[in-house]
Amino acid sequence: MTGPAGSDGPSIRTEAVIDLDAVRSNVAVLLQAARRSNPTAALMAVVKADGYGHGAVPIARVARQAGAVALGLATPQEAVHLVAAGLDATADRPVVAWLWVPDEDIRPAVAGGVQLVVSSVAQLAAVRAVAFLAPDGRADIHLKIDTGLGRGGATAAEFDHLVAAAIDADSQVQVVGVMSHLACADEPGDKSVPQQIAAFRAACAHLQRVGVSVRWRHLANTPGTLEWPAAVFDLVRCGIGLYGVTPFDQPHPLAAELRPAMTLRARVALTKRVAAGSGVSYGLTYRTEGPATLALVPIGYADGIPRAAGIGAQIWLRGKRRTIAGRIAMDQFVVDCGDDEVLVGDEVLVFGPGDSGEPTAVDWAAQCSTIGYEIVTRIGPRVPRRYVGSSAAGPDHEGSR
Ligand SMILES: *Cc1c(COP(=O)(O)O)cnc(C)c1O
């Protein structure tokens, strides 16, 4: 059987099919949203955590082809991995990493032209010490201010001091960006967002006052880009939107234009006919109502299927949604197919875009009180990724040179 993900061979047991055309189209949606308020806004494709489970390198390549100028990562190591794969890290095409500790080895990142985000004077000192390794002997950095999230970034009180220290270090570092991160952008109408925008504007004004002109001012993530035009500055940092998963828990007109990129599929490994009242899986928390055909699906919580989804989690098999019977195990789960005919090798769609009725990552998230981000990001390394779409085999991949 062939699902919406395209053709497949009989040897597939599980796979995550990644639709690069969906990513391409999502880049266009995000850029268009950003450019409602700033016609020259640029897009940073956030590909941390292995591209939210989709594969950082192929996503970075297709996002760049589709018009994302910058790439964003959490750790310097993630950034180095992209540069090593051939993605440009230059002033015009920056690769930025924002989460690191001052005693981390940042030399490969600085030497590779990665732009590190600096939240403290200690981090500034760490960059200064290795700045000579940078491609032109001077490290490009972004300063981060905490405008209200209470996570990374200098507080408003520390920020002016950090700026002064960066100016002092002028011969070793160049401030090319300033950033902050929103706490509640996914909540339309939230009052903290305008406050964060105002605090960010104040920080930008301070930089200008002291003569630091930065090329990249950036605040908005995906929900900021889609919902808060005033949060769009020179650059927007979009992750989840690239992958076509909505960041909102209510329907949103722009998020509705995004297309989920990942389809998680598996094949039935075994079927069996059992009597009424048969117990299924650990704890025997499930018993068949009548005589039933059980289908064994070879993917489990080690692969990222949340065990917490518990009773009621659904997959798509043989033309309908069916509920998982009993507990999800490490490597497998079971589906009660009643009297329906189900064969070994049948395709199971765990989640996908929803085109043929299969659940989406957001449906799974609702089922286990989490967010779509966590569902796609958790899909583990045992599940092979397969890339489809016209972008998958193009000759002009950045990085394939
Ligand atoms: C992960 C992250 C993003 C991307 O957020 P999305 O909601 O996935 O678009 C942007 N900025 C920072 C600082 C992040 O950590």
- 3-state SS of 186-212? CCCCCCHHHHHHHHHHHHHHHHHHCCC
Confidence (pLDDT) at 11: 67
Question: What is the pLDDT, as a whole number, of residue 310?
Answer: 83
Residue minimizing CA distance to atom 12 of ligand 1: 181
CA of 219 to the centre of ligand 1 (A): 10
* Residue 282 designated active-site: yes
- CB contact at 8 A, 16 and 56: no
Nearest-angstrom CA–CA distance, 22 and 28? 10
| Catalytic-labelled residue, pool 48, 144, 243, 286 | 48
Task: Estimate the crossing angle of helix 56-65 against helix 20-34, to 10 degrees.
Answer: 50
Which of 46, 240, 245, when mutated, tests ligand 1's pocket best, judged by the most ligand atoms within 8 Å of its CB? Answer: 46
**Model-level pTM?**
0.95
The pLDDT score that the predictor gives to residue 103 is 87
240 within ligand 1 shell (Cβ under 6 A): yes
Q: Is 191 a catalytic residue?
A: no
- d(Cα 123, Cα 249) in Å, to the nearest integer? 36
List Cα–Cα distances, 116 to 108, 133, 164, 200, 233, in angstroms: 12, 13, 18, 19, 19
106 alpha carbon to ligand 1 midpoint, in Å? 21
With a 6 A CB cut-off, is 239 part of the ligand 1 pocket?
yes
Confirm or reject: Cβ of 62 under 6 Å from ligand 1: no
pLDDT of residue 8: 52
- Tens-digit pLDDT profile for the chain (401 aa)? 444 444 455 568 999 999 999 999 999 999 999 999 999 999 999 999 999 999 999 999 999 999 999 999 999 999 999 999 999 999 999 999 999 998 899 999 999 999 999 999 999 999 999 999 999 999 999 999 999 999 999 999 999 999 999 999 999 999 999 999 999 999 999 999 999 999 999 999 999 999 999 999 999 999 999 999 999 999 999 999 999 999 999 999 999 999 999 999 999 999 999 999 999 999 999 999 999 999 999 999 999 999 999 889 999 999 999 999 999 999 999 999 999 999 999 999 999 999 999 999 999 999 999 999 999 999 999 999 999 998 776 544 454 43
Q: Whose CA is nearest to atom 4 of ligand 1?
A: 239
Q: Which of 243, 272, 282, 387 is catalytic?
A: 282
Residue 232 Cα to ligand 1 middle (Å): 14
Exposure of 184 in the CB half-sphere (CA atoms within 13 A): 12
Q: Is the CB of 221 under 6 A from ligand 1?
A: yes
